[in-house]
Amino acid sequence: MKRVLVIVGVLAAFVAGIAVERVRSEAKPRMWADALLDLSTDEIPKRARVYVNLDHWEPGAETGRHVHPGPTVFVILEGELEEVPAGGRARALKAGQAFWKPARTDHNVRNVSGRGARALAVHLDPAR
DSSP state of 19: H
One pLDDT digit (tens) per residue for the chain, 128 residues: 555 444 545 455 555 666 556 556 577 878 677 788 888 888 887 889 999 999 999 999 999 999 999 999 999 999 999 999 998 899 999 999 999 999 999 999 999 999 999 999 999 999 87
CA torsion through residues 14, 20, 23, 29, sign: negative
Instruction: Output the domain CATH number for residue 117.
Output: 2.60.120.10
Q: What is the pLDDT of residue 6?
A: 43
pLDDT on residue 46: 80
pLDDT, tens digit (0-9, with 9 covering 90-100), for 42-58: 888 788 999 999 999 99
- For the chain, the domain total comes to 1
Q: What is the pLDDT of residue 9?
A: 52
What pLDDT is recorded for position 7?
Answer: 53
Whether 70 is covered by a domain: the verdict is yes
Expressed in angstroms, the distance from the first to the final Cα of the chain is 85
Specify if 24 maps to a domain.
no
Q: Is residue 20 part of a domain?
A: no
Could you tell me the residue range of the domain that residue 73 belongs to? 48-126
CA–CA gap between residue 54 and residue 122 (Å, rounded): 9
pLDDT tens, residue by residue, 109-123: 999 999 999 999 999
pLDDT, position 123: 93
Answer yes or no: is 90 within a domain.
yes
Paired strand residues for 1: none
